[in-house]
Structure 1
C-alpha cells in the first residue's frame, strides 16, 4: 500500500505542566526527525527557548553541541504566556526550514522588557529567508495590553527581511503608525493576505497610494481599527480579487463603504460587525456581490431592521449564502425571519443571539422552511444560535424536536427558559450539541474532538437514520413529559 503522497496528521492532547522543565526538551528529543508541523495550545516562552536552544547535552563533552531538535519543522503554531525577543530569536535561528510561524500570547500582567517583544526581536525574524507566513498577536483575553516596545522602526527592520512574505497577521501593535504598515504594503510584493487587529494608529492614509503597489490582496482583515473610514475601503477595493474582507469593530464604516464593497464580484466572506451601516447600505450588496457571497456577518449593526432581510433575499435566485450572523440587532423581529424562510436560501449556519424581538414565530418559520432539495423541514441548518433572544419560550422547544431540523448539529439557547426541557432535548437528540451558557458555537479550533466522531454520520442525515431505526415516534416521550411538567409549572 502506497502512502507516500498521503498527508499524515497526529493530534495529541496532554498537559505540558506535568513535565518538569529540565525533562521537557529530553522528551521532545524522541520525536520523529520527519515532523514538519507542530501546534501547541499553551506553552511558556521559557520552555520554547529551552526546547530549541542548542545547549550542551548531559552526556556530551563540553565542546560538543546538541543537534537541533525538530530539524524538519516547517510550520510552528504556539500560544504562549509572553512573546519575547529571546524566544523569537531562538525559533528563527534554530528552525532553518520554517515557512509558517504563528505566535499568540495572552499576558496576565504587563510584560517587563525581558519578557516582551521589541524592535530587536522583530529584526531577528526570518534569518534563513524561507518564511512565507507570519502571525504575531497579543490577545486581550486577560488584560488590555499591547506590544508597547515595538514601533515603526521594528516593522521596517522586519520588512527588510520579509520581502517574499505572502501572509502577515499583526495584532496589538499600538505604536505602529501608517508609516510602518505602508512599509509592509510596499516591501512585500507577494503579499496576498494581510490582517491587522487593534491597529489603534492605522488610518486611511495607509491605502492612499495602494494602487502604486503590485499587490493582489485576496484576504484582508482590519479588526478593531477604529480610525478607518469609508475612504480607506474605496481605495482598498482596487484589489478587485478580494475574497475575504473582515472589518469587524470598525465603527466609522457606513453605507459608502458598502457601495464600494458591492463592486467586488469574487468576495466570499464579508464581516461588518458593529459598523455604522444601514438598510440602505445593504441594498448596494443586492445588485453586486450577493451572488458570490457565502458568509455575511452584520452582528451589532444597530441601524439594521427587518428591511435588510427583504432587501437581501427578495427576488434573488442565485444566492450561495451559507452563513449569516444577525446577532445583537435590536430592530430585527420575527417578520425578518419570516422573509428569510420564504426565500428558501439554503443557509447552514444562522446566528441570531441577543435579538430581543426574536421569538417563537421565528423558530416555527425556520422549522417549516424547505430548501430546494426538499429533504425535510429546516433541512439545511446545521447551526442555530438563539441565545438570549427575548421572545423564545417553552413553545419553541416543540419545534426543535424530531422531525424538524434533521441536520442540526449546534444549538444555542438560554438554559434558564426551562432547564429540564433543555436537558431532555440534549438527551433526545444525541447528535445535537446544545449550548446554554452563552458560549459561541463552532468557533474554537481546539474544541473539535467531536468532528471525527461525527464524520461517520455526515453522509447519513439524522432524519434518514431515524427512519431506518424505526425511532420516529417512540423517542419523543421524554421531551413530552418534560413539556408537560413545564406546563404544570407555568399554570
Structure 2
C-alpha cells in the first residue's frame, strides 16, 4: 500500500518493473486513467520508458481494482489485452466534468472486455461524487457485444448505465448461465420486464442488488424470488416497492441480508417477514421508510420465532419513538449493530432501555451491542450519557452522537472508554461496510466484523474490576427504578400504554 502520485507518468512503469513475479492482485485507491494505460503499456505514448514491465508480472495478475478519474475505451482495451490471466476486474470513476468522447467508455470499449475468456467478476461503476453523470455513450448494443465474451461470468456490477434498457440486462441474464451475483446501480431504464421470464433461465442467483432502480414494482420482486437460493437482496431506493414485495420476499428460506431503504413499505408489510425470513436474516435495513411507526417493532419481533438478526438499521424513521425502542429492548434480540440516526422522537428513555437490556440471562447489561448510532436523535440529552458509561455497553466499539449536545460529556466518555470510537459530526459508522453512495457497503453475511481491540468486558475482568462493576451496576439499576418512580415513570407508562411494571419491562 503506497501513494502512487509521486510516480505518475512514465515513472510509474519503472515502479511496476520491479514488481514481484508472484504479484496476483493490484488495488489502487486513485490513479488517472492515462497513468493506467502507461503503466500497462510503457512502450506507448510520448514518454517511452527504457524499462518495460516484466512480462511475468503481467501474466500473473488475476485481480485489478482501480478508482480512476474516468473509465475510457483506451484504458479498458489496454487492461483486457495486457492482463492475460485476469479473472476479477473492478473499475470505478467519478468524473469532475462531463467526459468527451475520447475520454469516455463507449460500446467499443465494452466489446474489448474479457478477450482471453478468463474473467469471472466484472464491476464498472460511475459514481456521482462531483456531478450527475452517466455512461451516456453505452447502450444495449454495447452490452450485447460484451455478453458474447462473458458467458462464463459469475458476478456483474453495472452502475450508471442510463441508456441500457431491459433488452441489455436480459441479455446478461440469458447469456451468463453461471451468474450468481447481479448488482445494478442507477438502472434508470430497468423495468419489471427484465425479470418476467427469469424462472425459464438456469440461473441460481444468490446476491441481487437493484439500487436506485425506480421503475421496478412489486411484480419484479415476485418474479425475482423464484431464485429460492437468494442470500443477499438489496432494494434500496426502489421507491415503488411496497408490502406485496415483502410478502414475496417472506418465503425465501436462506436470505441473510435484506436492505429496503426508502421503499414504500408499512408496518403491515414487515409482519410478512416475521414467520419466514426473520428466522434466517442477519442484517435488515429499513432506513428512511417513512410510513413505518413504532408498530414495526412488534411486527418484526413478537417472540414467535428465534431470530438470527444481528444488524438493524432504523435510521430516518420520523415516527419511531422511545416506545418502539422499549419494545425492541423487551425482545432481547442480541444485536451487535443498531442504527437509529436522525430519528427526532428517540430520546434518553431509549438509551436507558438499551443500556439495561439483558440477553440470554447475561448479567452484563447492554453487552451485545458493538455499534450504536444515535446521531441527530432529537430527544438525547445529558441524561443519556450517564447510561453510556461503565458498566453499560461493555463491548461497544462505535458510538454516534450529536457533539453539540455537550462536547465536554462526549470527550469525557471517549476518555473513560479507550476502546470506544465516538463520532459526533455525522459520519456513518463503519463507513467501509455502509457506503450508501453506490451500495458497496454490502458485505457477505458470513464475514466477521473486526472491531479492532481487545474485548473491553474481558479486559475489565482480567484487571479485577468485576466486583466493582457488579456493585456499580447494582447502584445504577436502583437508579433506573428510582427514576421510573419519581415522575419520569409516568412518561414511560404513557409511552408504553402497558400495565406491566416499567422497571421490569426495561430491565
Asked if TM exceeds 0.5, the reply is yes
Q: Is the 8 A contact 2:120 2:152 kept in 1?
A: yes
Q: Is the 8 A contact 1:159 1:183 kept in 2?
A: yes
Residue 362 of structure 1: which of 341, 350, 355 is its match?
350
| SS in structure 2 at match of 1:92 | helix
Q: Find the counterpart in structure 1 of residue 67 from structure 2.
A: 79
Q: Give the distance between the partners of 1:153 and 1:26, measured in 2 at CA.
A: 38
Q: Is the 8 A contact 1:326 1:351 kept in 2?
A: yes
Residue 465 (structure 1) aligned with residue 453 (structure 2):
no
Residue 247 (structure 1) aligned with residue 247 (structure 2):
no
Task: Report the Cα offset of residue 67 of structure 1.
Answer: 3.4
Q: Give the distance between the partners of 1:196 and 1:369, measured in 2 at CA.
A: 39
Distance 1:363 1:204, change over 3 A: same
Residue 104 (structure 1) aligned with residue 92 (structure 2):
yes
Q: Find the counterpart in structure 2 of residue 52 from structure 1.
A: 40
Distance 1:456 1:381, change over 3 A: closer
Distance 1:382 1:298, change over 3 A: same
Task: Report the Cα offset of residue 70 of structure 1.
Answer: 3.7
What are the equivalent positions in structure 2 for 1:87-486 lying under 5 Å apart? Answer: 87-372=75-360, 374=362, 376-444=364-432, 455=452, 457=454, 461-470=455-464
Deviates more, 1:339-348 or 1:17-26: 17-26
Q: Give the distance between the partners of 2:359 and 2:115, measured in 1 at CA.
A: 54
Q: Give the distance between the partners of 1:316 and 1:419, measured in 2 at CA.
A: 43
Distance 1:173 1:452, change over 3 A: closer
Distance 1:445 1:327, change over 3 A: closer
Q: Is the 8 A contact 1:179 1:206 kept in 2?
A: yes
Q: Give the distance between the partners of 1:25 and 1:431, measured in 2 at CA.
A: 43
Task: Report the Cα offset of residue 37 of structure 1.
Answer: 1.2
Q: How does the TM-score come out when normalised to structure 2?
A: 0.86
Q: Give the distance between the partners of 1:150 and 1:276, measured in 2 at CA.
A: 31
Q: Give the distance between the partners of 1:454 and 1:347, measured in 2 at CA.
A: 15
Q: Give the distance between the partners of 2:71 and 2:50, measured in 1 at CA.
A: 31
Q: Is the 8 A contact 1:54 1:68 kept in 2?
A: no
Deviates more, 1:225-234 or 1:65-74: 65-74
Q: Give the distance between the partners of 1:405 and 1:263, measured in 2 at CA.
A: 35
Task: Report the Cα offset of residue 285 of structure 1.
Answer: 0.4
The Cα offsets for residues 308-351 of structure 1, whole Å up to 9 and x where unpaired, read as 10111112341100000000000101011111111111110000
Task: Report the Cα offset of residue 455 of structure 1.
Answer: 4.5
Q: Is the 8 A contact 1:52 1:68 kept in 2?
A: no
> Structure 1: which 5+ runs fail to align?
1-11, 477-491
RMSD of aligned Cα (Å)? 2.2
| SS in structure 2 at match of 1:43 | coil
| SS in structure 2 at match of 1:189 | coil
The Cα offsets for residues 175-233 of structure 1, whole Å up to 9 and x where unpaired, read as 00000000000100000000000000000010111111111100000000000000100
Q: How many residues align?
A: 455
Q: Find the counterpart in structure 2 of residue 480 from structure 1.
A: none
Q: Give the distance between the partners of 2:222 and 2:258, measured in 1 at CA.
A: 15
Q: Give the distance between the partners of 1:88 and 1:45, measured in 2 at CA.
A: 9
Task: Report the Cα offset of residue 25 of structure 1.
Answer: 1.1
Q: Give the distance between the partners of 1:425 and 1:59, measured in 2 at CA.
A: 58
Q: How does the TM-score come out when normalised to structure 1?
A: 0.89
Q: Give the distance between the partners of 2:83 and 2:450, measured in 1 at CA.
A: 35
Q: Find the counterpart in structure 2 of residue 482 from structure 1.
A: none
Task: Report the Cα offset of residue 39 of structure 1.
Answer: 1.0
Q: Give the distance between the partners of 1:284 and 1:365, measured in 2 at CA.
A: 27
Q: Give the distance between the partners of 1:20 and 1:270, measured in 2 at CA.
A: 42
The Cα offsets for residues 35-57 of structure 1, whole Å up to 9 and x where unpaired, read as 11111111111111111115177
Q: Is the 8 A contact 1:31 1:70 kept in 2?
A: no
Q: Is the 8 A contact 2:320 2:345 kept in 1?
A: yes
> Structure 2: which 5+ runs fail to align?
436-440, 442-447, 473-507
Task: Report the Cα offset of residue 143 of structure 1.
Answer: 1.1
